[in-house]
Chains A and B, each alone.
Chain A
Amino acid sequence: MRKPTVTPGFFHQALTITRRDLLRERRSGEVMWVTLPFGAIALLLVPLAIGTDAPTLQRIGPGMFWVIVMLFGVLIAIRQTNAETTAQRDLVALTGLDPAAIFVGKAVASFLLLLVFEAVLGVVTIALYDVELIGWVILPVVLVLAAAGLALLGTLAAGIVATGRSGAALVPLLVAPMSVPILLGATQALDAIRLDRSSISWVLMMTIVVLLLAVVGVLSSRPLQETG
């Protein structure tokens, strides 16, 4: 009786969700045309406020970059909190997609958006603060780990919030403390390079946080879908 179908594999399922999320972002432009310009404006406001003293700007530039990435990056990561209605969640559940694949697909979409966000803000920071680029090997690793950590954290928080009645109000309380190890790891790893010290321990800490978030997200995806 049934139309013969081939159940897609895990990664195909995750890719289906990633494509959907990126297509929705391309149409709505929420990240690229709203969040990203606000992030760039925030970076611009500091030199306007404290003046154009080059050494001062060079010194605070990297710190400002990470603060803005964390503040606005969290907004990108948690955008999915309100992105899906109950009817849309029902539809996805009835497609039979593996909840773990849904989690991975959403996290990958957020990760890619955060990478673009970091890249654009990085260029803005270099241009405005005249920051010297150091750590050509470690810097991309740190940027990737920070994006992955924030993406996983936001996806997990969105899943938790969808289960309760507290709504988006709970998101900052969940995400802010958890993003501290990511921010700390990123700034300290780059500081270590600047001071000619090893940054491996900080990169390792970020990697562990990312892996922990990934494992918790995948394992909790099914119960979270059920109670959502």
Chain B
Amino acid sequence: MSPSPTLIDLEEVSVRAGAVRILQNVSLNVGPGDAVGVFGPNGAGKTTLLRLIAALQPPASGKCSVLGADLASAAKYDVRHRIGYIGHTPGLYPELTLRENLAFVADARGLDASQALRSLELVGLGGAADRRVDHCSHGMQRRAEFARVLMTEPEVLLLDEPHSALDVDAIELVDGLVHRTLERGGAAVLVSHDRDRVNSLATRSHEIKDGTLL
């Protein structure tokens, strides 16, 4: 796998769910230091676009490459762990504590388990590290997701409605996370309804409508 100056390269990519075409001929090129905002109404295909880039949604057609790996090939398994994705719903295990959730990811990634607590402290959850997720508010769970991404330091950061249900401090955390990724030479794609907030972070933005990126 040769190093590529482009971190995300989509060319005429379509995604289908059965007979329904969710994304149509989407082309997007994102390089190091780029933060791309994507706006659009509900059902326009924003989340599918993020899941496509995260190698979680297979393309039906077109060329789709992330971090130099063709997502239609097995090479995607080698780059998935370099992608940070925070979706609508937290992917935390409700029976486990915040620390245990992050320690699981740290263990899976070969990181030191102590980094779990350090990352939780960075997002202001150090004091709640041993609280079960199902005893945490939605905002705390979102913060824990940011802590997870901080811990894994992804090169491509994908955020779905990153500012929703967050207080002012947590919004600053999101912005800091994006800046930190870009400073390290990574890239970010943010899909949102909150144009003002995302535009203040994005280096460029696109509209998405009926699965077509404008």
Chain A residues within 8 Å of B, Cβ to Cβ: 1-3, 5-8, 12-13, 16, 19-20, 23-24, 27-28, 85-98, 222, 226
B89 near A24 with CB under 8 A, answer no
> For chain B, which range describes its interface: under 10, 10 to 19, 20 to 34, or 35 or more residues?
35 or more
* CB-defined contacts of A2 to chain B, threshold 8 Å: 82, 153, 155
Please give the distance in Å from A88's CB to the nearest CB on chain B: 5
Q: How far is the CA of A5 from the CA of B112 in the complex (A)?
A: 9
With contact pairs A8-B110, A20-B93, A95-B109 given, residues A1 and B85 touching in the complex (Cβ less than 8 Å): no
In the complex, whether B174 has a CB less than 8 A from a CB of chain A is no
Which of B22-30, B34-42, B100-108, B196-204 lies on the face that meets chain A? B100-108
Residue picked from A1, A19, A98, most chain B C-beta under 10 Å: A1
* CB-defined contacts of A12 to chain B, threshold 8 Å: 110
A20 near B58 with CB under 8 A, answer no
B87 near A90 with CB under 8 A, answer yes
Select one of A6, A27, A85, A92 contacting B110, CB under 8 A: A6
Please give the distance in Å from B163's CB to the nearest CB on chain A: 18
A-B contact pairs, 29 of them (CB 8 A): A1-B186, A2-B82, A2-B153, A5-B111, A8-B109, A8-B110, A12-B110, A20-B96, A23-B95, A24-B96, A27-B95, A85-B89, A87-B89, A87-B91, A90-B56, A91-B105, A91-B148, A92-B108, A94-B80, A94-B83, A94-B85, A95-B80, A95-B108, A95-B109, A96-B77, A96-B80, A97-B108, A98-B77, A226-B58
* CB-defined contacts of B155 to chain A, threshold 8 Å: 1-2
B residues 38-58 touching A (CB-CB < 8 Å):
51, 54-56, 58
Q: How far is the CA of A28 from the CA of B153 in the complex (A)?
A: 31
The prevalent SS among residues of A at the interface is helix
* CB-defined contacts of B55 to chain A, threshold 8 Å: 93
In the complex, whether B193 has a CB less than 8 A from a CB of chain A is no
* CB-defined contacts of B54 to chain A, threshold 8 Å: 90, 94
B87 near A8 with CB under 8 A, answer no
* CB-defined contacts of A86 to chain B, threshold 8 Å: 89
Please give the distance in Å from B48's CB to the nearest CB on chain A: 13
* CB-defined contacts of B132 to chain A, threshold 8 Å: 27
Q: How far is the CA of A86 from the CA of B107 in the complex (A)?
A: 21
Please give the distance in Å from A98's CB to the nearest CB on chain B: 8
* CB-defined contacts of B105 to chain A, threshold 8 Å: 91, 95
The 4 closest A-B pairs by CB, nearest first: A96-B81, A91-B91, A87-B91, A27-B95
* CB-defined contacts of B83 to chain A, threshold 8 Å: 94
A96 near B109 with CB under 8 A, answer yes
* CB-defined contacts of A89 to chain B, threshold 8 Å: 91
* CB-defined contacts of A7 to chain B, threshold 8 Å: 110
B110 near A1 with CB under 8 A, answer no
Residue of B nearest to A29 (CB): B95
Q: How far is the CA of A28 from the CA of B132 in the complex (A)?
A: 12
Residue of B nearest to A7 (CB): B110
Select one of B51, B89, B104, B108 contacting A96, CB under 8 A: B108
